[in-house]
Amino acid sequence: MVVGVLLQNAVVTVIENYINPNEVETAMNNTMKTPQQKVQIKPLTDDELHFLDTVLDRLVVTTEGLEHEPLTLDAVDGLFAALAISPKVTAIAEWMALVVGEGTFANKEETQTVRNLLIRHYNSVVHLLRKADIEDYQPLVSYNESDQPWVAAWCAGFIRGFERQEEAWAKQMDDGAWAEIHVLYALRESDEFGEIAVPEDADEGEMALIESRIALVALMREEVGALLEESADDLALLLFALAGLQETMLAARAPTSVKQSGYKR
């Protein structure tokens, strides 16, 4: 994947500006409060999530190798999280095309059912993240046989949403936000055991960027672990990074507010 120039230039500054855990708890407890939207929210039930997961997995299998593959449910959830805090609204037709790709449904009834479920889930995620109540949002991620979270697909979906509006995001981001994005980029390349893959054919520049991101993950894991007073898994890092990004993007909509973070700004 081609990484934007801003991403490449920011990572060194981000690492240099990382600070200690004494200020982290403030960041976690000081998300911005925005007016609640008058939207009727109906979160998906477990059965509906299972149905949606099954259909999307089937689409992924049947379109393997095509240019525009559908997204899995955890990737969809990550995509919706990015779109929820993005500077610009994305039309339903646009994100629906990203989710479905070149997949085809069994019939018109299934098409309409999946469409309705996706819209409801999108509305739920937007409602939770735009009202800045991050503790109510539970990312949909996979788990390995040891019941450890595997967040790669969620992060891939989030990054996909971010990259669609990267220029607009960059105008509102500072060193802390770039750090959080870099952590999600790194976790996107993690396997089911949490190991971050390093491409064998990476050139010198790409290798330096990858190593810098891995270093950021280690630093954030240490800080979040200190905050939680226990080992921080990848899901904890995901939530911490998302909380910081949410704060950054929502604060841009409330210019009179005071924004704080666990990183130097």
Looking at residue 36, what is its pLDDT? 47
Q: Whole-angstrom Cα distance, residue 154 to residue 238? A: 9
**What rounded mean pLDDT belongs to the chain?**
83
Tell whether 256 is covered by a domain: no
Domain that holds residue 240: 5-251
Looking at residue 39, what is its pLDDT? 60
End-to-end CA distance of the chain: 28
> CA gyration radius for the chain?
18
- 36-65 burial, b for 16+ CB within 10 Å, e for fewer? eeeeeeeebeeebbebbeebbeebbeebee
Tokens of 1: 């994947």
Inform me whether the pLDDT recorded for 70 exceeds 50: yes
Least confident of 112-116, 124-128, 260-264: 260-264
80 and 92 Cβ atoms separated by less than 8 Å = no
Per-residue pLDDT tens digits for 193-240:
889 988 888 899 999 999 999 999 999 999 999 999 999 999 999 999
How many domains in the chain? Answer: 1
Using a 10 angstrom Cβ sphere, with 0-12 exposed, 13-18 middle and 19 or more buried, the burial of residue 6 is middle
Looking at residue 134, what is its pLDDT? 76
Residue 22: pLDDT band (50, 70, 90) is very low
Q: What are phi and psi of 199, to 5 degrees?
A: -60, 135
Q: Please give the average per-residue pLDDT across 51-70, as a whole number.
A: 90
Tell whether 229 is covered by a domain: yes
Specify the DSSP element, H or E, that contains 22. none
For helices 5-16 and 204-228, what crossing angle results, to 10°? 50
Tell whether 258 is covered by a domain: no
The domain that holds 216 is classified in CATH as: 1.20.120.740
Half-sphere exposure of 117 (CA within 13 A, CB side): 24
Per-residue pLDDT tens digits for 232-255:
999 999 999 999 999 999 887 664
Residue 173: pLDDT band (50, 70, 90) is very high
- Measured from the Cβ of residue 103, the count of other Cβ atoms closer than 10 Å reads 20
149 and 143 Cβ atoms separated by less than 8 Å = yes
Q: Give the contacts of 219 (CB within 8 A, at least 6 positions apart).
A: 15, 18
Per-residue pLDDT tens digits for 150-160:
999 999 999 99
Tell whether 261 is covered by a domain: no
| pTM of the shown model | 0.81
Tell whether 59 is covered by a domain: yes
